[in-house]
């Protein structure tokens, strides 16, 4: 989920293949730092490879970013709820979801 958010945020700057690779590397490093693991462990154990596959073809959860932090329950993590649903839609390749957007 964290990697999907990181990649969705980077869509405006990742127009080239090299920029997309840098964005994926940065997302892995952010997830690793957040979880207290190495990037290799984060990528192999915690990040679903379909997130990168979809990103590589231009699909992200950018449509759900406006809902980040709008959960009803005070004190809950800001990425749950609509963001989780968007990631599930992305992983299931539901292109009809409002949260899943083709960016490239």
Range in 11-15, 22-26, 33-37, 45-49 with the lowest mean pLDDT? 11-15
| Overall number of domains in the chain | 1
* CA gap 4, 36 in Å, rounded: 18
The domain that holds 36 is classified in CATH as 1.10.132.120
pLDDT at 14: 66
Q: What does the angle CA 41 – CA 52 – CA 6 come to, to the nearest 5 degrees? A: 80
Both tokens assigned to 5: 């958010």
For 66-80, write each residue's pLDDT tens digit: 766 655 556 555 546
Looking at per-residue pLDDT, the higher value among 45 and 1 belongs to 45
For 41-63, write each residue's pLDDT tens digit: 999 999 999 999 999 888 898 88
pLDDT at 100: 84
Domain that holds residue 94: 2-102
Looking at per-residue pLDDT, the higher value among 104 and 95 belongs to 95
């Amino acid at each position: 989920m964290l990697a999907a958010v990181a990649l969705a945020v980077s869509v405006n700057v990742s127009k080239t293949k090299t920029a997309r690779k840098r964005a994926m590397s940065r997302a892995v490093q952010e997830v690793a730092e957040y979880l207290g693991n190495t990037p290799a462990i984060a990528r192999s154990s915690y990040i679903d490879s379909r997130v990168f596959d979809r990103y590589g073809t231009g699909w992200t959860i950018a449509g759900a970013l406006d809902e980040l932090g709008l959960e009803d329950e005070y004190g809950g993590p800001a990425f749950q709820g609509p963001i989780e649903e968007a990631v599930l839609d992305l992983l299931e390749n539901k292109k009809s979801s409002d949260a899943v957007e083709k960016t490239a």
